[in-house]
Structure 1
Amino acid sequence: MFDLPEPAPYRLARPPLVQALVQVRYPVVASLGTVAGIAPLQERLREHLPYMEQASSNMSVQLGPSGAVIESGPQDGWQFSDEDGHKLVLTPGALNLVIDQRYKGVREFANLLSFCLSAISSTVPLARCNRLGVRYLSVAEPLPENEFSWIDWFRPEILGWSSSPILNARLDAAVNRVQIKAGQEGEFENFPAAAQGLVTTGWFPSGAVISGLPPVPVTSPSYVLDLDFFVEASQSFSVDGLVDQFKILHSQMDRFFYWSLSEKGAEHFGLEEK
């Protein structure tokens, strides 16, 4: 998808990530909308996600060709959570695993995804997956003493002309979206269809709300990097296969994010090789 080398393992001391989400959609299982139907799964999830409550009944998020879209309408579902910020939002037709800025790394997230997929597949007869989506949303607030500091944190290719000196006006908002599609060779050869990606970048004003689970409010003018990758095709509901695809999509996102940072950006976010 990207002609970029895989970076050496690294960590960020001050990551801009505000939400990571992986979504698995499958044919509707009506029993998952009932207390009796969800009870066996609650027992399986209790080890890592001990708290359960009814999920919001009027909205859901869908990852797909239009990006992360909030859908209105009845959604009978459940939310499972832990003390570390992980949430599993489960509806009759989709599994959503989400974490906020307390995200600790892809290994922990992938392990929890594997646990959740194993739990549901051993409790409910799921034959196939219709869509796998992965989204990482970063919001970079400029320094209080320098409202233009974000311009120094990312490569010019990412920022575009709206960050250049030719703009002799206040920048209220700027959004750029690029849609890409991978071939089905190399690490994508076992995907059921071509993986696709939406890369949305831009300057968002205070008061904007970015779709998510839950939606993410922008409390002060910020630069946003929204990576939304997915594969939309029917495939076997294989726990190992889906987790492997998640890792591959995440790897592409990781390469892009690493490449997008300037030297000053790497310094600002505290990039350190492990």
Structure 2
Amino acid sequence: MTSRLSPFRSPQPPEVHLERPPLVQVIAQVRFPPILALGRQESVAPFQEAIRRRYPILRPESVPERLLLGVDGPVVQPSTMLWRFHDKDDVWRVALTTNSISLQANKYSSRADFFERLHQLLDELVRVTDPVAAGYERFGIRYVNRVRHPELEHLSRMVQPEVLGVANIGFGPELIFSVCESSFAVDDAQLRARWGLLPPRATTDPTAIREIDESSWILDLDMFVEKQPEFDASVVVERGQRFAETIYAFFRWCVTDEFLRTYGGQV
């Protein structure tokens, strides 16, 4: 087999627009040290007003106290409020808690649109709570792709053989589940890549990959950085854009031109 260059050491591939992208979800999340004021309605009200034109629907939830098992033993996570905002079509979602904010796109239009929306949310969060001095604990960008029938029947032509793994050997209907996970250090960040074949009603992460009634193949790419000393919206968004470029390079390394053509790309 001819070896291929690592996607982390190759020139950035040109973007190919897909008319019918297999992206099912794109998520950005920033976690920061707890700001207890974000658990109170009166503190969140200015944030809601600032984003209400884009995300007019608010659905608050009370998250009960939970016992989590950490590396140092059990940890009690106190009850808190989860403020969920979304647009009228439930395409764009925002989730705000006392220690995190996330943006989720269920129908991704463009990188520019996504990061412009993220910038607005972070600007408003900084204006309302000023988390700058404490920095942030984790920032990540995640792209989830899913191949379903009838495209799944042609997977061997759409995905590079080294990525397909045992799904390319010819087990046929005997193979019902095969998922690979790899982590890569990219400068001061990490890229966690997970891909593989899922049977009906299966998921590797119910928060991002919903269960469906048919087999599918997923490519789940999550790039993140931890423990940064300063929370600056522009710097965070710029870093997120670089993450998206790296994720796209890895995506292109995983798939063939046939994959791009199948989903409406001109190559």
Q: Give the TM-score range, shorter chain.
A: 0.7 to 0.9
Equivalence map 1:1-274=2 (5 Å): 2-55=8-61, 57=63, 74-83=79-88, 85-100=91-106, 102-126=107-131, 127=133, 128-143=135-150, 148-165=153-170, 167=171, 170-183=174-187, 194-211=188-205, 213=207, 215-272=209-266
Change in Cα spacing, 1:37 to 1:168, as seen in structure 2 (3 Å) is: closer
> Identity across aligned pairs (percent)?
26
Contact in 2 for aligned 1:154/1:260 (Cα 8 Å): yes
Deviation for aligned residue 1:111: 0.1
Query: Cα gap change, 1:86/1:55 in structure 2, threshold over 3 Å: closer, same or farther?
Result: farther
Counterpart-to-counterpart distance in 1, 2:37 and 2:239: 27
Query: Given residue 81 of structure 1, which amino acid in structure 2 is its aligned partner?
Result: H
Amino acid at match of 2:248: D
Q: Which moved more, 1:237-246 or 1:84-93?
A: 84-93
The aligned amino acid for 2:239 is Q
> Structure 1 counterpart of 2:28, which letter?
V
- Using the TM superposition, give the Cα deviation of residue 272 of structure 1 relative to its aligned residue in structure 2, in angstroms: 3.1
Contact 2:197 2:216 in 1 (8 A): yes
Cα shift at 1:201: 0.7
- Is the 1:50–1:82 contact (alpha carbons within 8 Å) kept by the matching residues of 2? yes
Unmatched segments (≥5 aa) in structure 1: 61-71, 184-193
Q: Cα gap change, 1:176/1:134 in structure 2, threshold over 3 Å: closer, same or farther?
A: same
Counterpart code for 1:80: F
Q: State the Cα deviation string for residues 112-147 of structure 1 (Å, max 9, x = none).
A: 000000001001121211110111111101318xx6
- The root-mean-square deviation of aligned C-alpha atoms, in Å, is 2.3
Residue 214 of structure 1, CA deviation: 5.4
Question: C-alpha deviations, 1:50-74, integer Å up to 9, x for none?
Answer: 22121463699xxxxxxxxxxx984
Q: CA deviation at 1:8?
A: 1.9
Mapped contact 1:57–1:77 kept (Cα < 8 A): yes
After superposition, the C-alpha distances for 1:176-221 in whole angstroms (9 at most, x for unaligned) are 11111013xxxxxxxxxx1001110100010013425455223310
Counterparts of 2:174 and 2:240, CA distance in 1: 40
Contact 1:55 1:89 in 2 (8 A): no
Hey, what's the Cα distance between the residues in 1 that align with 2:153 and 2:64? 38
How many residue pairs were aligned? 248
Higher normalized helix content (fraction of residues): 2
TM-score, length basis structure 1: 0.83
